[in-house]
Amino acid sequence: MGNHIVEFNGDGSVEVDAEQSLLDAALTAGIQHIHVCGGMAECSTCRVLVLEGAERLSVPNEREKRLHDLMHFPLNVRLACQTRVLGDQVKLKRIIRDESDISLYAGQDPTLSSQQIGEELELVLFFFDIRDFTVFTETHLAFDVIHIIRKLFSIFQKIIVKNGGRIIETMGDGFYAVFGYNTGIEGSVLGAVQSGLMILKQMESLNETYFKPYFEEIIQVGMGVHIGKVISGEIRVGSIDRKFAMGLPVNIAARLQNATKELHNNFIVSAEAYYHLPVTHQTHTLTYVRLKGIADEVKVFLVGEAYQ
């Protein structure tokens, strides 16, 4: 067992011998690797994200397993103070790079937080927007506007959750939901499409029984669904951990929702997502649309209805 070379992303390559932990090797090489507990596996500040070569690292020992279970680390996060290197071609990244980072991941007491760092996941992305709601806000009382948003979003939240999704961001008169955190791709796409169809059914009923008689208005919506690999994790805002997802697939889903106007259909699903539906559900019209930032035309299916 000789020495091995490990690449610390952003910090350079480090030589590690068989008797050294990743933490010891980093400190010897002059990398200021944070280790609040002194390398005793009693905090999480020396954790690293393994980018390549996880199989060439020692298996987690009992100390690391205990902290791993306590803080719910993803499998590709290791404690540098407890990890040895068994081979070359290992690439990793320090998560906490200086003292100011500690509170972002662990708060004042690093052993109390279970906030996860970002990871790449394949998720189903669902964007929703109320069409032309600005006109409504300009012609109705503020109380009525807020009341309607609350009423609608309460209904939509229940629908999304019932179908296995999660609303992770609201944007005025729209929201952004994600499916796939707890289900497979096929089930997640089906859940997203069923959510959209249920929302349309609810809107049809509400327009007839509520908005027409009480506000002399018809409320119309637009929805877009896409699938893809995104970076997902949690961000602490104040004392609340909030999910996030970012990447090109998110932008495509948002642009599909906006393209409902151009295609004159209130619910659009990308072909990438649509083909994960059961064959019995694939009964909709295929078309193409150009989206900002995408060179080629995007194949989509018109799952909703034409606007009134």
Domains of the chain: 4-106 (3.10.20.30), 119-302 (3.30.70.1230)
Instruction: Specify the pLDDT at position 241.
Output: 65
Look-up: residue for tokens 């004392």?
239
CA distance 13 to 6: 6
3-state secondary structure at position 2: coil
Instruction: Specify the pLDDT at position 115.
Output: 37
- CB atoms under 10 Å from CB of 148, counted, come to 23
Instruction: Specify the pLDDT at position 3.
Output: 87
C-beta of residue 255 within 8 angstroms of C-beta of residue 224: yes
CA distance 49 to 39: 17
Q: Taking the chain (308 residues) in consecutive chunks of 10 residues, what is each chunk's mean pLDDT? A: 84 90 93 85 87 94 88 84 93 80 49 49 95 86 89 94 94 92 93 97 94 90 96 68 83 96 96 95 93 91 93
3-state secondary structure at position 128: strand
Beta-sheet pairing, 47-52 with 77-79: antiparallel
C-beta of residue 221 within 8 angstroms of C-beta of residue 257: no
- CB atoms under 10 Å from CB of 176, counted, come to 20
Q: Where are the alpha helices (DSSP H) in the chain?
A: 22-28, 62-71, 102-106, 133-139, 142-162, 185-206, 212-215, 248-263, 271-274
CA distance 198 to 119: 31
Instruction: Specify the pLDDT at position 246.
Output: 84
CA distance 233 to 252: 19
Query: Which residues have C-beta within 8 Å of that of residue 303, sequence separation ≥ 6?
Result: 193, 196, 197, 265, 267, 268, 269, 274, 284
